[in-house]
Amino acid sequence: MALYGVPVLILKEGTSRTHGREALRANIMAARVLSEILKTSLGPRGLDKMLVDSFGDITVTNDGAAIVKEMEVQHPAAKLLVEAAKAVDAEVGDGTTSVVVLSGALLERAEQLLDQGIHPTVIIEGYKAALNKALEILDEIAIKLKIGDLDKEEDRNIAKQELKKALHTALASKYIATPDVLDRLMDMILEAAFTAAEKRPDGTYDVKLDMIKIEKKRGGSLADSMLIQGIVLDKEVVHPAMPRRVENAKIALLDTPLEIEKPDITAKINITSPEQIRSFLEEEAKILRDMVEKISSVGANVVICQKGIDDVAQHYLAKKGIMAVRRVKRSDMEKLEKATGGRIVTSVRDLTERDLGSCELVEERRVGNDKMVFVERCKNPKAATILLRGANDMLLDEVERSINDGLHTIRNLLRDPKVVPGGGAVEIELAMRLRKWAESVGGREQLAVMAFADAIEEIPQVLAQTAGMDVLETIMELRKLHAEGKQAAGIDVVNSKVIDDITKINVLEPVAVKKQILKSATETATTILKIDDVIAAAPKKEEKGKKEEKKEEEEEKSTPKFD
């Protein structure tokens, strides 16, 4: 721009700017490309993606959350979709792929409306109105599960059967296992969730997922995986003379080293004779012996320490018949506190009998090639460990992701025990009802509501595609069945067919997840539609000197050295 012949520079040199429809279309295109990448990984027959990071590490998965975390997305609009997917994963633990696919579909339909001359603001208002109506419809068609009181055995068994239906749907799309192994995994997930569940004032439950630990050990098969009502530590007993098995354990949880503390001040000791060295070492040993005596006097027979344990202290603990484990993670200490009923103590001097945790058994066992310490059979454990076994790390990582999704599903259902039919049934029903409702919406917003309904149908379309079915025929058949009042008609993806009532084969999804998917996808799409200017700063250039330095370093590294 020039003012009276003098150029006026507003932006820094090298800055690029796209604005108006050009910027909007570029953003929509980027979002749609990301949506296309993830689309084929949706559902039980979703295909895997192989991701290779900058270090050459390989991840093979169809989990949307894992894919978006590993992908190094550059385009700012695509990054918005990635952030939305991560937010959904953090909030409800599932539905990441659906969010990206639905966001892309909403933007694709919005682009068609833009071509017809409809202003982005009108589309945004229409989408928001359609979202609110869709959330109302979800509440109307939701099926309430019987949860009852988890402390009662009968109610617990009923809740288990009810929750298993939705859990099967969540796991089916992640990892294909044999039916008996899948059933075993589901039982482990449910028991772990019930262990960490806490009742809320309104009668529902919340699951403290940070109290459920997942440990992976290579070796054996997935069928060897187990649930421990307590905590498993990937550590071993510190001294060979210590007991490897302690029954009726009294556990001291220490957040202080069993070592001689160094003073904060700088000090020097002048030693002039061998006797002084001996007395110095004896005093050190006495301090450590007193620590062990204190631990023994309160009745502890197991010490679990977050920090280090001196060799001399280990010797005295072994003489007292006390088992000790050191350098345990803080998160594990907190789980142990919950599981054993003990309290973490920051000073050995302050340790009392009331601070000790208890459980029936603490034992060191060999798992694969490693030793692990099992703290189990606690009286009222509020923490649990799922120990996974498998042939390789890639398999274990994928199963861990599946279990995490399963745990989130159970947490969502215990918080809000409502489900909706899966297999694309709820999306077809929403689309049908929204189209009917759109007739009562005035002005151009009606077109946006219709576009929203079309976009929602993208999910069943993708499910049909991944199942190898004819997409058009499948959607037409589903629309016909829903028009006849069969609101649970959906796609049996495993057997590649449409069935009248998808709930009969237990394909159910938590209503909380569906709501979050709709909210996040709509918010992301409307955020992108609001953008009409993209101003990108020039990438930072390294200083010439730094570049030369870097070049010299690389040359040095590549030059072979001979001694």
Q: Which residues are catalytic?
A: 63, 96-97, 405
Cα(107)–Cα(98) distance, integer angstroms: 14
Specify the DSSP class assigned to residue 202.
Answer: T
496: left (phi over 0), alpha (psi -120 to 50) or beta: left
The tokens for 538 are 């020039």
- Is residue 195 within 8 Å of residue 386, measured between CB atoms? no
The tokens for 157 are 């068994």
Burial (CB < 10 A; 0-12, 13-18, 19+), residue 270, is exposed
Cα(214)–Cα(216) distance, integer angstroms: 7
Q: Which amino acid is at 525?
A: A
Handedness of CA 449, 451, 453, 456 (dihedral sign): negative
Nearest to 285 by CA among 255, 264, 315, 306: 315
The tokens for 314 are 């280990």
**Residue-by-residue DSSP string for 464-496:** HHHTT--HHHHHHHHHHHHHTT-TT-EEETTTT
Q: How remote is the C-alpha of 121 from its chain's centroid?
A: 35
The tokens for 95 are 């539905």
77 SS3 class? helix
- Is residue 469 within 8 Å of residue 491, measured between CB atoms? yes
The tokens for 310 are 């001196």
E runs forming strands in 45-121: 49-52, 58-61
Kindly state the greatest CA–CA separation across the chain.
Answer: 100
- Beta strands 212-218 and 370-376, pairing class: unpaired
Nearest to 458 by CA among 526, 527, 517, 530: 517
Nearest to 106 by CA among 533, 534, 526: 526
Handedness of CA 378, 381, 383, 386 (dihedral sign): positive
